[in-house]
Amino acid sequence: MEQIYFDNAATTQLREEVIDAMMHVVKNNYGNASSSHSFGRSSKALIEKSRKHIAKHLNVSASEIVFTSGGTEADNLVLRSAVRDLKVQRVITSKIEHHAVLHTIEQLKLEHDIEVDFVCLDANGNVDYDHLETLLNKEKKSLVTLMHVNNEIGNILNIKRVADLCKEKGALFHSDAVQSVGHYALDLNEIQVDFLAASAHKFHGPKGVGFAFIRKNSGLKPLIIGGEQERGLRAGTESIHNIVALEQAFHFSNLNIETETAYIKELKTYFINEVTKHIAGIKFNGNSADLEKSTYTLVNVCIPVEANKSAMLLFQLDLKGIACSKGSACQSGSNAGSHVLAEILNEDDLEKPSIRFSFSIYNTKEEVDYVVDVLKELVGA
């Protein structure tokens, strides 16, 4: 049986170069980076070298990169400290953010009684920038948090436009960029975002490591207390092999960004064309079929089958060896539907199965052909 992995928005396969770098550190650089002896200094040097390389790619200062366990921790660090320590009174967000943001905001509202405003979205889930500007005219200390690339439908935020608007209105701006870092070249000197979250396993690095970009002199304070690691912003003994692997994954993603983007974009285009040709009535959710307005890495399709077939479709695809997702992987195993699709689909389409297929450099057109054939069989096209 074929085994096809089309769930790269959930997590990605590690590059061989990343595995090699990671294992070299595991074997040879086991000193605690906080120790003053040569073993510790060697580990510390690797961390700081990785930090500098990541900062160089983003065109920021090395001191503005804080290593975390991933995107969720980075989001929590920024949002919780902004309310607790920077005295943010109001958070502006959208209803289709990742739950790492939405659930954190819900908790902050309970704990600190902050005001929460949701920016309007159009029928495809795009942010209404005029409404955002209207919201920013209120005289309260505000933080805007909007993701750069939506993890379910792939919509791309005009991150520079939002950053400029927040700067003009005196608001702070945080972006969950977990689905874009490593896939898009970001110049954070040009894009004046205050805070940003990233996670290595979305761009062929390991799970359990990511970083927060925190612009200098932000005033943020640590979420995790205990030691002075990460310049006092994130306590805990550093996972040196993961940090080096993160840097290597980021390095190779940026090194090959043009050729790999072109390859994956061609694969996505081929998928769109083939599935449209062979399955009548298929719909694409959000902007996911628009190569200019959505990320090149994923599509989200609404499959035209009856409700009684809907519940088993993902299971049947899995039996055929196809790994994909009904939405965010964080929701897998949950009976709750996608909160993203609930905002943009009508009731009829919500009754049908919507599936996210996400691609990487390790996928092929032959795999697309197999998936389309299986979908045809299951749908009865």
Give yes or no for residue 73 having a pLDDT over 70: yes
- Between 293-297, 334-338, 344-348, the lowest mean confidence (pLDDT) is in 334-338
- The CATH class for the domain spanning 16-255 reads alpha beta
* E strand map for the chain: 4-5, 65-68, 90-93, 115-118, 142-145, 172-176, 195-199, 210-214, 283-284, 298-302, 322-323, 354-358
- If one compares 150 and 1, the residue with the highest pLDDT of the two is 150
Other CB atoms within a 10 A radius of the CB of residue 36 amount to: 9
Q: Which pLDDT score is estimated for 329?
A: 47
Cβ-contact 263, 70 below 8 angstroms: no
Q: Which fold has domain 4-12+257-379?
A: Aspartate Aminotransferase, domain 1 (3.90.1150)
- Confidence class for position 327, pLDDT limits 50, 70, 90: low
Q: For the sheet containing 354-358, what is the strand order?
A: 283-284, 298-302, 354-358
Distance CA 204, CA 288 (A): 22
Give the active site residue among 120, 166, 302, 330. 330
Give yes or no for residue 333 having a pLDDT over 70: no
> Would residue 330 show up in a list of annotated catalytic residues for this protein?
yes
Q: Tell me the domain boundaries of the chain.
A: 4-12+257-379, 16-255
Q: Which pLDDT tens digit goes with each residue over 45-69? A: 999 999 999 999 999 999 999 999 9
Q: Which pLDDT tens digit goes with each residue over 300-324? A: 999 998 777 777 888 899 999 999 9
